[in-house]
Amino acid sequence: MRRLAVLLVISGTIWSICAEIKPPKPGMNFFSPQQDIQLGKEAKAQVESQMPVIHDNNINGYLVQIGKKLAASPHAGDWPFSFEGIYDKNINAFALPGGPMFVNTATITAADNEAQLAGVMAHEMSHVVLRHGTHQMSKQQFVQLPAILAGNAMGNGILGAIGKLGVNLAANSVLLKYSRDAEAQADYNGALIMADAGYNPVEMARFFEKLESKGSEGRLAQFLSDHPTPGNRVKSVEQEIQQLPQKDYKEDITGQLASVKNAVQHLTPPPVKKQPNPQQ
Ligand SMILES: [Zn+2]
């Protein structure tokens, strides 16, 4: 019995080492990729109507520019990504199933270089590619979800149908609360996306570790509770990129971060929406 336990520990260790170096694959999921896209589209409309989404061309244009570079990676799949800023002094970013991504203005301000901002985006993008949001929901609602999704096979009104399960579908919902395993996977895949785009993947891990070191209170609470640390992020990414072909990675590609930070500082707050901010 004891030998079996030892064997299990050893094989578990070997498995976890292997798991670290193998590109992650999406887990069990009752949603079809089309339903991910439909759900994300509906949730995006909700975010846009309830949260202070900005319409500044400098800022959103910058996010789109970086986002497109990242989305061109084969590791970003074929999802209809979109990129918008949210006027918020809390550091956060989130991507809804299927591709809509939102980046808080404070995240832009907090980045030491463009690669760090690109890192957050590549990480969020990876949650979309690996379908972590709908995977998480599939695990939690495995009894009722298949019938609900079958009833919505035509792809209309998934958000409302799922809402009837009593699941909170606001922006801080189950769709955005990831496990530590999902975090490690998003780091791994995010590093591959960054490497393809030419950004230094280690900057992604450095930014996360910088945020983690500041503690999970105040302006970081939501972000760190949605993205719990898998630990040793910099070390993991360093090990990962050793296996990639050598490349001259950049910390900055567009040269626009400073001017966009300036635009953030001078941004007029968008009018307060009628609905309460679901992130609060
Ligand atoms: Zn994450």
pLDDT of residue 172: 52
Residue 251 CA to ligand 1 centre (angstroms): 21
Residue 179 CA to ligand 1 centre (angstroms): 8
pLDDT of residue 169: 62
Q: 134, 31 in Cβ contact below 8 A?
A: yes
Burial class (CB in 10 A: 0-12, 13-18, 19+), 226: buried
Confidence bin at 141 (pLDDT 50/70/90): confident
Residue 224 CA to ligand 1 centre (angstroms): 9
Least confident of 10-24, 67-81, 130-144: 10-24
Q: What is the mean pLDDT of residues 192-215?
A: 94
Confidence bin at 154 (pLDDT 50/70/90): low
Residue 127 CA to ligand 1 centre (angstroms): 7
Residue 191 has pLDDT above 50, yes or no: yes
Residue 171 CA to ligand 1 centre (angstroms): 14
Q: What is the mean pLDDT of residues 170-186?
A: 82
Residue 191 CA to ligand 1 centre (angstroms): 13
Q: What is the mean pLDDT of residues 121-137?
A: 95
**Which of the pair, 21 or 195, is modelled with greater confidence?**
195
Q: What is the mean pLDDT of residues 73-96?
A: 96
Residue 163 has pLDDT above 80, yes or no: no
Which 8-state DSSP code applies to residue 53?
A: B
Residue 2 CA to ligand 1 centre (angstroms): 37
Burial class (CB in 10 A: 0-12, 13-18, 19+), 127: buried
Residue 271 CA to ligand 1 centre (angstroms): 29
Confidence bin at 8 (pLDDT 50/70/90): very low
Q: 193, 126 in Cβ contact below 8 A?
A: yes
What is the CA angle 41-223-26, rounded to 5?
55
